[in-house]
Copies of this chain bind each other. A is one copy, B any other.
Amino acid sequence: MIIMSKLTIYHIPVCPFCQRLEILLSLKGLRNDVNFQVIDITQPRPAWLLEKTRGTTALPVLETADGHIIKESLVIMEYLEARFPERPVAQRDPYRRAVESMLTRMEGEFCMYGYQYLMNQDSGKRNALKEGMLAHHARLNDFLLEHAPSGPFLFEAFGWAEAVYTPFFMRFWFLEYYEDFQLPDEAKYARVREWRDACIAHPAAQQVTKEEVIKLYYDYAKGAGNGALLPGRRRSSLALEPDWRTRPWPPKNKYEHSATDEELGL
């Protein structure tokens, strides 16, 4: 067993960027060898954490055994891959690695678009946002058809690109619930659908459930990100307590109704 008890990751359990690290470590068989320390996103960051990060509030952050701080999920993934190379997740062949890096480069816009779509409060923009989301999926579909037509994954097994994207595919359950977004059953989305479904089903990626995502992201659906409080509310839906399992399912009609703390079981 590798001694890495002093490696610490400060994380928010439902954060997709944090889940990437859990997936990567699971694939390497090292999930339980890293100290994951939960940070409550609904509270101001503690002073000791801000001191470590020199003011950065974004998570995850990794702290090495000798107190070095590494920020940015993709950078932390690379660090873990380089430091624990025994069960490689990234491709080793330079061209294959370039292919998964090209796909990884597309994650930023995909993520940002999905969150922007969820946070939209203008029902007049729903159709345009839906079309844009479909276009993002069509681009991923095209990429996969070019580089991995036979599927389901980009290469032989669930790997680097899957660790990067699966947390978004799971978060985007919130679009199904709050926006009735569905990938149409059309050929131009068939390959990305196959990929998405295989990603979501993988045993290394079961850190969150649909129910958890939908309950915790209610405030995002109402336009309040990162634990911000909505008018008239005392608690954020992203609060760690009460446990999401004890809360009722939130109302779906985000454009017509604003739920109270009580309705949300907070």
**Interface residues in chain A, defined as those with a beta carbon under 8 Å from any beta carbon in chain B:** 54, 64, 68, 70-72, 74-76, 78-79, 82-83, 94-95, 97-98, 101-102, 105, 142, 146
A-B contact pairs, 29 of them (CB 8 A): A54-B142, A54-B146, A64-B95, A68-B95, A70-B95, A70-B98, A70-B102, A71-B102, A72-B101, A72-B102, A72-B105, A74-B101, A74-B105, A75-B98, A75-B101, A75-B102, A75-B105, A76-B98, A78-B94, A78-B97, A78-B98, A78-B101, A79-B94, A79-B95, A79-B97, A79-B98, A82-B94, A82-B97, A83-B94
Chain B residues with Cβ below 8 Å from A94 are 78-79, 82-83
User: CA of A74 to CA of B142 in the docked complex: distance in angstroms?
Assistant: 21
User: CA of A95 to CA of B105 in the docked complex: distance in angstroms?
Assistant: 22
Chain B residues with Cβ below 8 Å from A79 are 94-95, 97-98
Minimum CB distance partner of A92 in chain B: B82
Minimum CB distance partner of A64 in chain B: B95
Chain B residues with Cβ below 8 Å from A97 are 78-79, 82
Chain B residues with Cβ below 8 Å from A105 are 72, 74-75
Chain B residues with Cβ below 8 Å from A146 are 54
A107 to chain B, nearest CB (A): 12
User: CA of A54 to CA of B94 in the docked complex: distance in angstroms?
Assistant: 21
Minimum CB distance partner of A146 in chain B: B54
